[in-house]
A = this chain, B = another copy of it.
Amino acid sequence: MNSSPKTSSVTTPSFAQQIESAWDSQASMLCVGFDPDPQRIPSDLKVKSPNPREAILHFCCAIADATADLVCAFKPQFAYFAALGAENELAQLIAYLKDKYPKIPVILDAKRGDIGSTADQYALEAFERYGADAVTVNPYMGRDSIEPYLKHAGKGVIILCRTSNPGGSDLQNLAVLENQKNKPEPLYLKVARLASQEWNGSGQISLVVGATYPKEIAEVRAIVGKMPLLIPGIGAQGGDIDATVQAGAIANFPNTGMMINSSRAILYASSGSDYAEAARKVAIATRDSLRNSATK
């Protein structure tokens, strides 16, 4: 393990290229999120793998196999693996995804945020230990908490901007004054400006903007141009697909620009032995809804 960043060789496509290719080849903006709760996985799997760490690994691989042709990205959620001590299984899952579906980028949803020397370690964790193509990060600690990830050439850095949870408004919606001459604007728009302009010299940055606030997705889109947006909040969290897709669309480029995540609605579509087929059905329906909304 070496603390100097590893630069990708020129033959490795960047996260930005991978996601562009995936939008193109799959005509899908669906991102499947892996939030594997051992309480909720099918009982068949629990019987076959009494070890919950093994059970969630088998579960996630089966969901990936059932949905890989329908998605533009996969997004494992670090917390669900960490609570079980299943870091090895997280690494195995990502290795499985990269081996079997090398064209689908993998986003490690870890929402890291720390000072530079510590962020160096988190970047090593995400990109070298786990081999993710992109990682989610928190902007609260500012530019030098983001830069260590950017040193890993080609890797994606997806910054929280406007999150889909109710408490997201507590800070993100506060009106900020850059200086006395400016009109106040909500903090999340300031984050969108910083992330898409000053911080994004290398073009590696994307933003998280929740589907629960379509009007705000449109405001962010107006600031960030064609930057990819990771959009949680459809499915179990109740975001409206039509409104989301129209708010985040890039004119004349349907089925691009967004990675629209669904986790629980797909993972837990059935608790029976048909869970993979049921997940596939929901994933097809979701992808198709996204496509239909994109061409309205």
Contact = CB atoms under 8 A, between A and B. Distances in A.
A178 B177 CA distance: 11
Q: How many copies does the complex hold?
A: 2
Contacts of A37: 3
B83 A125 contact: yes
Interface string A153-195: 0000000100111111111101111100000100100110010
A79 interface: yes
A265 to B, nearest CB: 13
Interface string A97-141: 000000000000001111111110110110001000000001111
A141 B129 contact: no
Interface of A: 1, 3, 35, 37-39, 52, 77, 79-80, 82-85, 87-88, 91, 111-119, 121-122, 124-125, 129, 138-146, 160, 163-172, 174-178, 184, 187, 190-191, 194
Given A79-B112, A83-B122, A174-B190, 8 more contacts: A77-B118, A85-B91, A111-B113, A111-B114, A141-B160, A142-B167, A144-B165, A176-B176
Closest 10 CB pairs of A and B: A142-B167, A142-B170, A79-B121, A144-B167, A83-B121, A143-B167, A115-B165, A83-B124, A174-B176, A140-B140
27 contacts: A1-B52, A1-B84, A3-B39, A35-B117, A79-B114, A79-B125, A82-B121, A83-B125, A85-B88, A85-B129, A111-B114, A111-B138, A113-B160, A115-B163, A138-B138, A140-B140, A140-B160, A140-B172, A141-B168, A142-B168, A144-B165, A171-B187, A174-B177, A175-B177, A177-B177, A177-B184, A187-B187
